[in-house]
Amino acid sequence: MTNPWPHSFVSVATSRLAMPSQRDDHGYVSQMEAPLSDTEPIQPSPRARAGHSSTVALLPFPKISNVYFDRHEIREILALYGRKVAAGEWRDYAIDFEREKAVFSAFRRASEVPLYRIEKCPKLARKQGAYSVVTAAGLILKRGSDLKRVLAVLEKTTRLAAV
């Protein structure tokens, strides 16, 4: 039988037909792959397309880096988290590192939306401060450049009541 499309795609199965076949333990016929040499390195061969040169100019790819909490920031956040867990207010957390911001989310239960999000956004460092505390409804409780002062909004303060 001849191929009705002589200049079209060649399937993987037909390209392996030249290789000898071998039966496995279950009686199925499997195609053996071409042996690779341990001494010869694999070198890609340049392929010329019609009307194009075989050399390709590679452009530098911009490195995209994420924003992270550093060791001191994460220590302050986890100290607050530990106090809230001990008080029974928080039970779970998540940390997300994105391209423009890092987010620490605190949950009462794992299946809920976060009660609070502590965000670090370096783009806002000169304008409003890099750190912010955001509620589940999206209300920004505090924003600033000092993490300890921003986290202080989540600390309980003891208030004296007049009797």
- Pick from 136, 131, 130, 149: nearest CA to 90: 136
Looking at every residue in the chain, the average pLDDT score rounds to: 76
Q: How far apart (Å, rounded) are the C-alpha atoms in residues 13 and 47?
A: 23
Give the pLDDT confidence of 25-40 residue by residue, as tens digits: 666 655 555 555 666 6
Q: How far apart (Å, rounded) are the C-alpha atoms in residues 155 and 146?
A: 15
Q: Do residues 115 and 95 lie in contact, with contact meaning Cβ atoms separated by under 8 Å?
A: no
Give the pLDDT confidence of 79-137 residue by residue, as tens digits: 999 999 999 999 999 999 989 999 999 998 877 789 999 999 988 888 888 999 999 99
Quick check: 11 pLDDT over 50? no
What is the greatest pairwise CA distance in the chain? 102
Name the pTM for this structure: 0.58
C-alpha triplet 73, 79, 82: angle, nearest 5° = 140
Mean pLDDT of the 7-27 span: 52
